[in-house]
Amino acid sequence: MNRVATVSRTNSSAMDKAFPIILRSIWLIIMSGLSFVMLYPFIFTVLAGLNTQAEFGHMGALFPVPEVPQFGNLLFMFTPRGIRPLVNTIVRTGWYTVIVCLMAILMGYVMARYEFKAKRFFAITILATQVIPGVLTLIPTFVMMAHIPFVGGNDWMGMGGRGLINSRLAIHLPLGWGFLLWVFLFMQAMKALPRDFEEAAELDGCGFLRTIFRVVVPLQLPIIAVIAVNVALGVWNDWLIPFLYITDVQRSTLPAYLGVLVSALQQFGDRDYPRIFAMSAVAIVPPFLIFLFLQKYIMQGIASAGIKG
């Protein structure tokens, strides 16, 4: 009996050890399948970009593996025709990221630390603007940009010219109120930060701006990283604003350039889909790298913004 009980306990112990391994294996298989489903569009984009136009036109495979990879499609982004939209996108993304982060830091700090009469009104306004669809402001904003006085041939009444339409300045102006969301996020993060650091900085003789950039900013780097990453990704992938205001593709951005090429392919001309896929693959790389190297700060920033002091 003792031997039977010992064997039974041994078998039970072996099953207890094997059961978590089986569950983990099933979990890994399921997650691997989901990961493949999510990565498949990117894999297809890269492979399709390496095809010739003739190969892609007669291909219906799940994986369009080319016979001879055409790396020239990927290098088209670095030719005189392709480099200008890419540079415009990089400059626009960097400028927007810097200016929105500065506005979020300064306005969020004031809203979190100072008391003034209109503070409640501004807080309600910040929240109210987030429920208004941005598409509703496209026509009023376009009219405003087209009738700015003394710009683009306009007179003092904003008539007679084109304003900022088809001007590079149009895609670099911080239009809309989407940045107010990041003001609110930074304001919430500031509520979790004790005032002791700022009071110590004031005793050491730091002024308003020096306190913010020498004390507050280093302590709030995670939430600033969240704001920067989200703004950078949003601006990099934004095709609507450049597509709406810029008609010359050499003055436009990469996503808008791709939009113009895709719309042209549907109408006329040589349908060079591999080149479109190659350009899309190149456009995906910078946002992927941004998220890959800053994901740790993103998680820390979201956690800090959700804690109120």
53-81 pLDDT per residue, tens: 877 766 667 778 788 888 888 888 888 87
pLDDT (tens digit per residue) in 94-116: 999 999 999 999 999 988 888 88
Residues contacting residue 88 through CB under 8 Å, at least 6 positions apart: 168, 171, 251, 252, 253, 254
Residue 214 and residue 103 share a domain: yes
pLDDT (tens digit per residue) in 216-270: 988 888 888 888 888 888 889 888 888 888 888 788 888 888 887 777 765 545 5
Residue 190 and residue 230 share a domain: yes
Residue 217 and residue 112 share a domain: yes
Distance from C-alpha of 27 to C-alpha of 31, rounded to nearest angstrom: 6
- Kindly state whether residue 123 falls inside one of the protein's structural domains: yes
Residue 190 and residue 242 share a domain: yes
Residue 196 and residue 123 share a domain: yes
Work out the percent of the chain whose per-residue pLDDT is above 70. 85
| Model pLDDT, residue 98 | 92
Cα 270 to Cα 247, 264, 273, distances in angstroms:
21, 9, 9
Mean pLDDT of 282-294: 82
Residues contacting residue 5 through CB under 8 Å, at least 6 positions apart: none
Mean pLDDT of 185-205: 85
| Model pLDDT, residue 99 | 92
Mean pLDDT of 116-126: 83
Number of domains observed in the structure of the chain: 2
CATH of the domain at 228: 1.10.3720.10
Distance from C-alpha of 77 to C-alpha of 281, rounded to nearest angstrom: 10
| 116 token code pair | 């003034």
Contacts made by residues 79-85, CB under 8 angstroms, sequence distance 24+? 81/250, 82/279, 84/250, 84/251, 85/249, 85/250, 85/252, 85/253, 85/254, 85/256, 85/257
Q: Which residue has the higher pLDDT, 25 or 5?
A: 25
Q: Give me the chain's average pLDDT, please.
A: 81
Residue 8: pLDDT band with limits 50, 70, 90: low
Range of the domain at 18: 1-49
- Kindly state whether residue 262 falls inside one of the protein's structural domains: yes
Work out the percent of the chain whose per-residue pLDDT is above 90. 6
